[in-house]
Structure formats: structure tokens, C-alpha cells
Amino acid sequence: MIARTMAFGAAALLLLLLTIAVPTTVAKAFPEVIPLPNGFAPEGVATGRGPVIFAGSLNNGAIYRADLRTGEGDVFIEGEEGAVAVGLSFDKRANTLFVSGGPTGLGRVYDASSGALLAEYQLGTPGATFINDVVATREAAYFTDSRASVFYRVPLGPGGRLLPNAAVETIAFSDNYPFDPAAFNSNGIVATSNGRWLIVANSGAQAVYRVDPDTGEATEIDLGGDALPNADGLVLLGRTLYVVQNSSNQIAVVELSADYTSGEVVDTITDDDFRVPTTAAVFGNALYAVNARFGTTPGPDVEYEIVRVER
């Protein structure tokens, strides 16, 4: 009996040693780089319910959806000829995804679970406009236009409900908001948590502005002389504003005053994997910035990705 027990114990020990010695490959949760399909040409990103991120394609308006935990994903909404997807905004109340349509002049809204197209708004004149970014608030969705000194308001119902036959309102910026017909002007847009103010990035002016969503009255946010070259997408968490600076390959961190009229650039986020990031979204303690790779000749074999950085 003693001999059998000792033999069993030796066998168990050998099995344990073999288990320890054999390496196992475990996928890292929340990978630092999430690959997108080759040739996808992304620009906008938004996080959805849970660890989900969406990215839009400049090529054909397709929407890619990935799991932030695994980095795996697939094309959620198929593209179509002539369509464009630039900035995105997710409204968790109604589980809807708003998409700005660039030169098409369109704003679109999709069901974020099924991918069904729920609404389409003609905001600007096709070919003479560039609907760049969008933010959904409690009362409306606001779209920027890089080719005009205006922004667009689409009213929403309670709980983010889409309103049948909603009338699009075009709101002009105040005269002190800079506009250069030869430049790329309004870009990223976010809203304060109470919806009282919009914050808009003006790429040509290398600055950010506090904007009244009802009147268009704009106030440059005083950063103490600091400029924000290549200002693109924005993320606002409380009074911390993250400004993606595309060709600068960095994200500026700005601490804003209580009235959002001034601020200080307190940090700059960089990463070796940045390749002209344009917009970002937040999940947990991280920002997810998408590489648009502007300056690289587009093609079916060009690689694109979303990069995770600590905030």
C-alpha cells in the first residue's frame, strides 16, 4: 500500500512539473493595437455599450465593429459606392450610432445593435460641404462642417428618440469665429455633460472654441498662448479635454476652467504606434485613437489600426 501511494505521488509530481514546463499562449486582454481591415481608410471612432468600438471608412461609409477585450472584429455595416463615414457619435440612451458623411453632406443614424439605417439627413450641399464630426446630446445631434461657418442641429426626442420628419436647423457661428474658405475649419465637436456648451476644434485656427448650441456664439478657449496645430477629434471627460492632433502624432491634454473659456495644456500623449491619429474614444482608463495615415497613398494593402493609450 505504501509503495503504491509513493508511486502515485511521484507520477502526480511529474505531471505537475510537465504542466509548468509547457508554455501556454494566452491572448492579452485589451490589446494595445486593434487591426482594421487593410485598405479600410478610417477616420472616426466611437465606443458603444460595453467593450465595443466602432470605426468608419472614408472609402465607402462602411462601419467596423471590434471587441476591445480581444481586438477581434468584423465589418458591421457594409459600405456602398459614394458613401463616406467620417466622425461618429454613440448615443447610449437609444443605442444609436450617428455618422457624419463628409462631402456627401449627409448625416446618418444606425441602430447600433442591428446595423439598420434608421434615418438620413441632408445637411449640406453635396460636393460643396464636408460634414466632419457629430455629437449627440440630450436634446439634439450637432454636426460640424469644415467648409462652412455653420453647424447643423437635428432635434432628438426624449431618451434620444429619433423624431419623424425632424427639421434640420443650420446655425451660423458668430462673427468672431474664424473661417478661411481655403482652409479646413471646424473639425471635432463634443458637448459638456449638461449640454449647455459645445466645444469645437478649428483646425485652421489651431484652437478650440466654446460655442452656444442655440445661437452659435463662439468664444476662443484661452490656452495661455499655446496653439493646437492639426487639431482634429475631441474627447471631453468632465473638464479634461483631449485634443487629437493628427499629423503631430499626439493628443494634447487640456484642463479647462469651470466656465470653459480658458484652459491649460498639462500633458501630451504620444505613442510609437501613432500613424496620424484623427479621432479618439474612451473606455475605462484608456483612449482609443484611430490611425488614418493621411499622407500615405491609399490602397487595398495599406494597414490601419486603432491604438490604445493610457489617459
pLDDT in tens, 114-141: 999 999 999 999 999 999 999 999 999 9
CATH number of this structure's domain 31-310: 2.130.10.10
Residues whose CB is less than 8 angstroms from the CB of residue 58 and which lie 6 or more positions away in sequence, other chains included: 41, 42, 43, 84, 85, 86, 102, 292
Whole-model pTM: value is 0.91
CA–CA gap between residue 101 and residue 123 (Å, rounded) = 9
Name the CA dihedral angle for 26, 32, 34, 40, rounded to a multiple of 10 degrees: -160
pLDDT in tens, 254-302: 999 999 999 999 999 999 999 999 999 999 999 999 999 999 999 999 9
pLDDT in tens, 156-170: 999 999 999 899 999
Q: Does residue 147 sit in helix, strand or coil?
A: coil
Q: Nearest-CA neighbor of 51 among 73, 67, 31, 72?
A: 67
CB 21 within 8 A of CB 268: no
- Total count of residues recorded for the chain: 311
